[in-house]
Chains A and B, each alone.
Chain A
Amino acid sequence: MSALIAILLPIVLLLAVLLSGPDVRARLYPLLPWAPLILLWPLLDQPQAEVLSLVLLGSVLTVDAAAQPVLWLTLIGWTLAGWFAHQTVSRNRRWFWAGWLGALTGMHLLLLAGDIVSFYVGYAVLSLSAYLLVTHARDAEAWRAGRIYLVMALIGEAAILIGVLAIAGQLGNVNLAVLPEQADLFSQSTARWLLFFGFAVKLGILPLHVWLPLAHPVAPVPASAILSGIIVKAGLLGWLRFVPASLDDPAWIGYLLMTLGFLTAFGGVLLGLTQARLKTLLAYSTISQMGLLLVAFGMMFVLPDQRELLIAVLGVMVLHHGLNKAALFLACGCAPGTSALRLVLFAVPAVALAAAPLTTGFLAKGALKDVIDLAEIWVGVGIVLSVTSTATALLLWKGFQLARADAKAQTRLHPAWPILVVAALLVPWVHAAQVDLGASFTLAKLADSLWPLLLATALLGLYHAAFRGVSVRLPEGDLVVLAERLVAVLGGLRTSVPESGPSQATWPLAELPNRLLRLEGQQRRLAVAGILLLSVGVMLGLLVFVY
């Protein structure tokens, strides 16, 4: 019951927003931010399996260990961002809240889903609704970001659908809890890789990340907060559900994933350092941090029997990144350069993301490092992991500079922001305690988290001494700009035939629509001729038989 209500509430609110008149809507808006609080009920109730056999293909709702941290993240982050949104979003409110609630519906459904179809439905609804958030500004930049986002999201959905159908073809619409046990069936299969890359699109793993730096900045501030902080984690949940590690898997898969994760982690930072807008920089930071999540996920293939431990570690990482990143995005909407207090409120999550000692980042990275030590692979992995902290520190230092420059006068310090900062400070620790992932405050560990930051300081000093004034600028979205140019050169796929006038394209591909339509016109004669020929032939055949 609790899970069902948690899913129905945002749907009801969504319908109310879409279908009601302006007066009712105006009274509704103050209530909408608080919708995610309904998640408290299933979180306390912890339903094992709410079976709704009449819905979809037999829907099952549940709360399990993998979804739990993301549920808490949604409850806290989405509510606070919604509160912020209510008081800052004033244009096109109906469509904003429609997208907001649609995304929330999808998120609730996929978090509480216990069977394949319910998860897929939630994921699809989430991806589509996010389009409304991305394109909220309705200017050219927003349309472009929305278009690229949608194309990538649909490609991801297509890959996921193939994988899901391949699984369901063998197992039917099974409970998601069954899939890790059946991991052997899909070990080394194309379907599993398709599922991996399909969900990787949402997480922004290189090179599928190109939509993220365009979509997250162009959305309104609270929408960026949930996009970067919470929605991307849906991809992780997809990985955990559909790409389980089996004991038959060779270890190289894990190493490959970890390499990809590190590449994403450093690549995200390098690309982010070339950016001039704070929100874009933060988007690249998200990409980088998702790379770290991939490293942790890759560890599941190196240590297939430590699934519960890694889920706990991932949970802490998710809460740590989600809350801190959401806080950073809310900061963008509050003119952080205006006062010292605001700069401090910006700095606290930034420092935490850089995994300074005693912060939640220290907790999260420390937990991951412990697992890596457990695996006893090459000692360099731990060092590389520490260097990612350096990279993050450098990136967020630049972010801090950009924040200092943002001193728009008369911007209110919305209370949701400091509350979120405080939550980001505390909640990961609480969760870690709950899953028995304590941090050990030994001197060695503290030193281990300090030296990357010292390295970062050293590198900064070097930069200021030797390379001051040198700056590289890359366009936002990097690779996607190349892709767009390529598409333009090839003539592209025209979605309408020019009514009149000579065809100007010189590439055969651009001629394709005209050719196809001309062929269609001749079809009639071909088909008619064909049928007549066939009937005549048959008549003759029959005559032959009869006589």
Chain B
Amino acid sequence: MMDWLLFWLPFAVVMVSALSGLVIFWAGEGRQWLRTALNLFGALAKLVLVAVMGYLVWQGYQPEFRFALLPGLDFVLHADAMSMLFATLSAALWLVTTVYAVAYLERGSDRARFFGFFSLCVTATMGVAMAGNLLTFFIFYELLTLTTWPLVVHHGTKAAFAGARSYLIHTLGAGAVFLAGLIWLYSLTGPQDFIVGGSIAGLGLEQTVQLKIIFAMLIVGMGVKAALFPLHSWLPKAMVAPAPVSSLLHAVAVVKAGAFGIVRVIEDVYGPQLVAELGLALPLAAIASFTIVYGSVLALYQTDIKKRLAFSTVSQVSYITLGVAIGGPLATLGGIVHLVHQGLMKITLFFCAGIFANLLGVKKIEQLDGIGARLPWTSLCFTIGALGMIGLPPVAGFISKWYLGTGAVAVGMNWVLLVLIASTLLNAAYFLPLLKRIWLNPPPEQWPNEVPASRLETYGMIGSVLITAGLSLAVGVFAGHPLSPLSWARGIVAGYFP
């Protein structure tokens, strides 16, 4: 019985949303209640299944779904501590995003199409989280690209198509490079699963030059989604998507998948020791650092709220890359825990941007004057997210920065502190003026496009954002708690640096 459960559970976790997605497509545009019910049911079911799987992993079991695509090449869905972190984050935020999206698109069109692809997107993300080797990872990675394209292009405008085309070109190109690197790696090492500490580390390979080039190719392949400079420019253009999609892309699915992939390659394929031996850590840390500063500098010049948040994402996701590139237990901890923290904070900010745009037509920064009086709860959540981005304690962002900074000092890379400080100051420079506008400036006579919203819409959206903001604050204040993401990440890192 247990074996059956351990075999099918990972598959079920991934496929629940695919099933609900297909039923939504079949149900069509008309049956709104069915669709909403399916969405919520799917999200809840997934969360429950993830919880069960998490419990099993905690108890020491190893749920694994495996079948051979080709002799020697397995399709593996595996649940270990690292995949549970990403899977839980995805599942939990998915539920919240579903509620938000239902409320946000209340007055929208083509909702069946949206939610159908939305569900398929979840499937792909779960697959990315649970992938047990690079090949499975690649399959779901490409699936993620394909299922998010219709979401980006949802509004159907010219700008939407342009943004989506840019997105597709970048990600498919990257996918090609990734595949090439993958094949090359397998030709050297044979098909390998993800193993804690690096699956190829123990093989004692001599072809260091080839390994370095493969590493570069894999990083490029994932760096597009992870928005590393200079592969990041699709991200601001994809802001044409509706807010739930932007939140999805920038907090949970696409961007984190890229970052997660980089973490997997460094920790579970190459392993931290091999990466350090090959001298790959410093160049990657340098690129990540540059991206951090570059993203923040460009965010300063944006006048559109979502674009500013997009560049902020470019900057923040590179913290994850920086953390794993620096290496050592503390910095890796900072990078991995930032996966969760950045997800929570960024999704809060994008939700708020969506509420501002949806209820009041506020899309530009100068339109934010006095919105705190009109939408106090949303503005409060925005404040929490913004303070977290700046790294002001006790919001979650400070905890990640703390570990990144102390980790850098611990391995002797003191220059990283300057990068972190520059990023903090730049973040303050482009977020604090927003907060001042929101709370302390007098509101305008009339909002750009105020629409009367139904109760579902308002409560659904504002309720969701309150949850994510509350979580952003809680995981920071109670970081010492055994159930916090920090403690979880600590457990993961302990496996790599005993």
- Residue numbers of A with Cβ under 8 A of B are 18, 52-59, 95, 117, 120-121, 124-125, 128, 135, 138, 150, 154-155, 157-158, 161-162, 165-166, 168-170, 172, 493-497, 513, 516-517, 520, 523-524, 526-528, 530-532, 534-535, 538-539, 542, 545
**8 A Cβ contacts from B209-234 to A:** 217, 220, 224, 230-234
A535 and B176: CB pair below 8 A? Answer: yes
Set of chain A residues within 8 Å of B477, measured between Cβ atoms: 55-56
Bound: A52/B479 CA distance, A:
11
Cβ distance A533 to chain B, nearest Cβ, rounded Å? 10
For the complex, give the distance between the alpha carbons of A267 and B297 in Å. 37
CB-CB under 8 A for A535 and B408, given A158-B425, A524-B233: no
* Residues on the A chain within 8 Å of B398, using CB: 121
Which residues on A sit within 8 Å (CB–CB) of B232? Answer: 523
Residues of B close to A169: CB separation below 8 A: 330, 405-410
B224 / chain A contacts, CB cutoff of 8 Å: 527, 531
- Least CB distance from B170 to A in Å reads 7
14 contacts between A and B (CB under 8 A): A58-B480, A120-B393, A121-B398, A138-B440, A169-B410, A494-B301, A520-B298, A527-B231, A530-B230, A531-B176, A531-B220, A534-B177, A534-B217, A534-B220
Question: Does the CB pair A121–B393 fall under 8 Å?
Answer: yes
Q: Is the CB of A532 within 8 A of B173?
A: yes
Within the complex, what minimum Cβ distance (angstroms) separates B228 from chain A?
A: 10
Q: How far apart sit A14 and B425, CA to CA, in the bound complex (Å)?
A: 27
Q: How far is the CA of A170 from the CA of B234 in the complex (A)?
A: 40
Find B217's partner among A135, A494, A538 (CB 8 Å cutoff).
A538
Residues of A within 8 A of B231 (CB): 527, 531
Which residue of A has the minimal Cβ distance to B237?
Answer: A524
* A-B residue pairs, 9 tightest by C-beta: A169-B409, A165-B405, A531-B173, A121-B393, A523-B233, A169-B406, A538-B180, A535-B176, A54-B481
| Complex-state Cα separation, A486 to B96, whole angstroms | 49
> Of B86-94, B109-117, B426-434, which stretch is located at the interface?
B426-434
- The answer to whether A527 touches B480 (Cβ under 8 A) is no
CA distance A530 to B459 in the complex (A): 46
Contact of A527 among B170, B181, B365 (CB under 8 A): B170
Interface centre among A513, A516, A517, A534 (most CB of B within 10 A): A534
Query: How far is B246's CA from A541's CA once the two chains are assembled, in angstroms?
Result: 38
Closest chain A CB from B431 CB (angstroms): 11
Tell me, in angstroms, the Cα distance from A474 to B174 when the chains sit together. 61
* Bound Cα distance A57, B236 (Å): 35
Flag if B233 contacts A161 (CB, 8 Å).
no
Smallest CB–CB gap between A218 and chain B, Å? 14
Query: Within the complex, what minimum Cβ distance (angstroms) separates A134 from chain B?
Result: 12
* Contact status B402-A527, CB under 8 Å: no
Point out which of B393, B410, B421, B477 has the most chain A C-beta atoms below 10 A from its C-beta.
Answer: B393
Known: A56-B477, A58-B480, A528-B170. A166 touches B417 (CB 8 A): yes
Measured CB to CB, the closest approach of chain A to B183, in angstroms, equals 7
> Nearest B residue to A496 by beta-carbon distance?
B303
Residues from chain B with a CB closer than 8 A to the CB of A128 are 392
Whether A165 and B173, one on each chain, are in contact in the complex, defined by CB atoms closer than 8 angstroms, is: no
Task: Provide the bound-state CA to CA distance between A522 and B236, in Å.
Answer: 13
Given contacts A54-B478, A495-B433, A538-B177, contact A516 B409 (CB under 8 A): no
> Which residues on the A side are within 8 Å of B408 (C-beta)?
165, 169
B177 touches A168 (CB 8 A): no
Q: How far is the CB of A529 from chain B (nearest CB, A)?
A: 10
Would you list which residues of chain B between 15 and 63 have a CB under 8 Å from chain A?
Answer: none
Contacts of B217 in A (CB 8 A): 534, 538
Q: How large is the interface on B (under 10, 10 to 19, 20 to 34, 35 or more residues)?
A: 35 or more
**B477 CB to closest chain A CB, in angstroms?**
6
What residues of A have a CB within 8 angstroms of the CB of B297 in the complex?
516
Judge whether A539 and B180 touch: CB under 8 Å: yes
Residue-wise, chain B 391-403 has the 8 Å CB interface mask toward A (1 for contact) of: 0111000110010
By a CB distance below 8 angstroms, the chain A residues around B429 are 495
Considering the chains assembled together, what is the distance between the CA atoms of A18 and B402 in angstroms? 29
Contacts of A532 in B (CB 8 A): 173
Q: Return B407 CB to nearest CB of chain A, in Å.
A: 7
Q: Given the complex, which residues of B lie within 8 Å of A58, measured CB to CB? A: 480
Nearest to A532 among chain B residues (CB) is B173
**Nearest-neighbor residue (CB-CB) of B421 within chain A:** A158
Cα-based distance from A128 to B217 in the complex (angstroms): 44
Residue of B nearest to A161 (CB): B421
- Given the known A-B contacts A535-B177, A539-B180, are A165 and B300 also in contact in the complex, defined by CB atoms under 8 Å? no
B contact residues around A531 at 8 Å (CB): 170, 173-174, 176-177, 220, 224, 231
- Indicate if the CB atoms of A523 and B301 lie closer than 8 Å: no
How many Å lie between the Cα of A58 and that of B405 in the bound state?
18
- CB–CB A497/B301 < 8 A: yes
Q: Which residue of A lies closest to B439 (CB)?
A: A95
**Would B480 and A172 count as touching, CB distance under 8 A?**
no
Q: B208 at interface (Cβ–Cβ under 8 A)?
A: no
B420 interface hit (Cβ, 8 Å): yes
Let me know if B424 is at the binding interface, CB within 8 A: yes
A542 and B393 form a contact (CB under 8 A): no
> When chains A and B are docked, how far (Å) is the Cα of A534 from the Cα of B480?
45
Q: In the assembly, what is the distance between CA of A138 and CA of B436, in Å?
A: 11
Question: Max chain A CB contacts within 10 Å: which of B176, B181, B234, B430?
Answer: B176
Interface residues of B in 468-498 (CB under 8 A from A): 476-481
Chain B nearest CB from A301 CB (Å) reads 25
Partner of B300, one of A55, A168, A493: A493
| Known pairs A124-B392, A128-B392, A530-B230; A535 contacts B407 (CB<8 A) | no
